[in-house]
Chain A
Amino acid sequence: MDTLVAQLQRQFRDYTISLYHQLFWYVKGFLDDQFTELKKLQDECSPDFVAEVVSLFFEDCEKLIGNMARALDQTGNVDFSLVGSSVHQLKGSSSSVGAKRVKGLCVTFKECCDSQNFEGCVRCLQQVDIEYKSLKAKLQDLFNLEQQIVQAGGRIPQVDI
C-alpha cells in the first residue's frame, strides 16, 4: 500500500517530466534546461528562490504584454520598434527562467515586428498571453505538490530530466 508521501512524490516526478518533455509532436515542452539551472541555485538558505524568480517573471510578462498591447492599439500609428523592444525584453527574461514556449513565441513575434506585420503581431500577442498564463498555472500546481509533500513529511524528489 503506497504511502501518501510516495504517491505525491510520484505525482511530482511525473508532472515535472511532463513539463520538460514533448508529449506529442506538436506540443513543445514548457520548460527547458535553464529551469534546472535555477533549481541548482535553491537551497536551505534560499528555499523559495525558484518561486521568487518565476513570480518576478510573470509580473514582467504582465507589464511587457501591457506595453505591447498599448503600442498595438495605436491604430494607424503603431510603433513596431517599441513593440519589438518589449518582445526582446520578454525573450530575455523567458530565456533566463527556462520558459521554453514563451521564448519560442517571442522569436516569431520579433519577426512580425521586424516585418511590421500587424495581424501577425496581434496573433503573437494573444498567444504569448495565453502561454505565460498557462505556464503560471502549471508551475503553481507544481509548487503546490511540493508543499503537499513537505507537509506530509516527505522530501521533494530530485527529478533528472
Chain B
Amino acid sequence: MAVGEVMRMEIPSGGDMSVTSPELHVLAVDDSIVDRKVIERLLRISACKVTTVESGARALQYLGLDGDKGASGLKDLKVNLIVTDYSMPGLTGYDLLKKIKESSVFREIPVVIMSSENILPRIEQCLREGAEDFLLKPVKLADVKRIKELIMRNEAEDCKTLSHSNKRKLAEYIDDASSPSPSPSPSPSSSTHDDSSAKDFPSSKQMKSADEKFSSLL
C-alpha cells in the first residue's frame, strides 16, 4: 500500500456480510510424544488448526506469557482453545490453567484438561479454576467433537452478544443523525446484552460443565 492510500473494504455485491465459521486454532500441550501425535490428528480431522508443544513452559512461551518480550512475534494465529495434559513435569496442566486465567489477555481462552486418572478432587479443582471441561484419556474422536461443538457454541453466543450491542449502537447513531422523530427502539431485552452479562458467561459455563461432568460420573 502506498502512503496516503486508503484501504477499502470489499463488500460482496450480494450484500451478504455473514462470516463462514473460521477454523479453531488449538494449542495442545502434552509431554508424551505419542499423545501429541494422537491429539494433533484428532483435532486436524475435526477441522482445527493445531499447534502442539511439549510442556507448560513452552505453551507460555508460545503465548508470550513467559515474560520474554521477544516471543510475541510467534503467535501470528489467535489461539481459540488450549487443550492440556494434567500430569507433566515442571508446570502441570493445572499450573498452566492458573497462569492463563490470571492473564488479562488470555483468560477468556477456554482451557480443557486431559488426564489418564479419574480423580474427582482433581477434576473439581480444575473446573473451579476455570477449566472448560475435563477429558479422560485415552481421548477419542467423540470427545474432541464434543469439545469443538461446545467451543463453537460459546463463540457463537459471544458473537451474538457482540452483534446485538453493535446493532444497538448503530441504531442509536442513526437516531442521533436523523430527524427528532423517534425510530422504533431495538428489542427491550437489548439492555441485558451488555458487557457485564458477557462476564457472567464464564462462570455459568463452568457451573454447567461441572454439573454435566458430575452427572456423567455418578
Contact = CB atoms under 8 A, between A and B. Distances in A.
B29 interface: no
A113 to B, nearest CB: 15
A71 to B, nearest CB: 16
Given A49-B41, A96-B138, 9 more contacts: A34-B138, A34-B140, A37-B140, A41-B42, A53-B34, A53-B38, A92-B34, A93-B34, A97-B38
Contact of A88 (B33, B34, B87): B87
Interface in A26-80: 34, 37-38, 40-41, 43, 46, 49, 52-53, 56-57, 60
A91 interface: yes
A53 B37 contact: yes
Q: How large is the interface on B (under 10, 10 to 19, 20 to 34, 35 or more residues)?
A: 10 to 19
A9 interface: no
Contacts of B45: 41, 43, 46
A40 B141 contact: yes
Contacts of A49: 41
Nearest to B42: A41
A98 B140 CA distance: 12
B33 A96 contact: no
B56 to A, nearest CB: 16
A36 B38 CA distance: 13
B140 A56 contact: no
Nearest to A63: B33
Q: How large is the interface on A (under 10, 10 to 19, 20 to 34, 35 or more residues)?
A: 20 to 34
Nearest to A94: B34
A49 B37 CA distance: 9
A88 B41 CA distance: 23
A53 B37 CA distance: 7
A37 B42 CA distance: 10
Nearest to A88: B87
Nearest to A58: B34
A35 B30 CA distance: 20
A52 B37 contact: yes
B116 interface: yes
Nearest to B36: A56
A37 B138 contact: yes
B160 interface: no
Interface string A79-115: 0000000001101110111100000000000000000
B137 interface: yes
A38 B38 contact: yes
Contact of B41 (A41, A57, A89, A92): A41
Interface string B5-49: 000000000000000000000000001111101100110010000
